[in-house]
Amino acid sequence: MQAKTIIRPLLRLLERFSLEQEKDDPAAILAAIERDVRFRGINLWILIAAVVVASVGLNVNSTPVIIGAMLISPLMGPIIGIGVSLATYNLPLLNKSLRNFIVAVFFSIITSASILFSEPAERGPVRANRPHKPFALGCTHCFFRRAGRHHRCHR
């Protein structure tokens, strides 16, 4: 009798940690991953915005801005596609994922290079010499910060 009174609560406790109830169809998961690998349209624009935000964060030496740029970057689609394709030996998905990842890296480099060449070269150490007049990247940083707050408040 003692064993039943101890085992039942333990089994109920272990049931709470079971993932079987929320398990999704493997085919649906694979279809969603294949859909997220594509790097066109909105994903490309979000990537460009994330690169702009990261570049601004690097120029103003702001760690939270760089982390925010990493959070909004849509690069995880092709990266997850590469991982799933390697795990399941799906060569067409691997080719598609690698192609889209290379496209994403190409657009990231082009965007960051255009920002780098549009900013004045001589500004001195960022922490020691804070700019006293607005500059292009500082204004961009403020714009994206305000847009993010507006989007978060109006969800």
pLDDT 10s digits, 39-84: 888 888 888 889 888 888 888 888 888 888 888 888 888 999 999 9
Judge contact between 57 and 69, C-beta under 8 A. yes
pLDDT single digits (tens) 1-25? 577 778 888 888 888 888 888 888 8
pLDDT of residue 150: 44
Question: In the predicted model, is pLDDT for residue 85 greater than 60?
Answer: yes
Three state DSSP letters for 99-144: HHHHHHHHHHHHHHHHHHHHCCCCCCCCCCCCCCCCCHHHHHHHHH
| Count of residues making up the chain | 155
Cα separation, 34 vs 82, in Å, equals 10
pLDDT band at residue 94 under the 50/70/90 scheme: very high
Judge contact between 34 and 93, C-beta under 8 A. yes
Cβ neighbours for 53, distance < 8 A, ≥ 6 positions apart: 65, 68, 69, 72, 141, 144
pLDDT band at residue 122 under the 50/70/90 scheme: low
Question: In the predicted model, is pLDDT for residue 128 greater than 50?
Answer: no
pLDDT of residue 92: 94
pLDDT band at residue 151 under the 50/70/90 scheme: very low
pLDDT of residue 3: 73
Cα separation, 56 vs 67, in Å, equals 12
Cα separation, 72 vs 88, in Å, equals 28
pLDDT single digits (tens) 28-37? 989 998 888 8
Question: In the predicted model, is pLDDT for residue 93 greater than 70?
Answer: yes
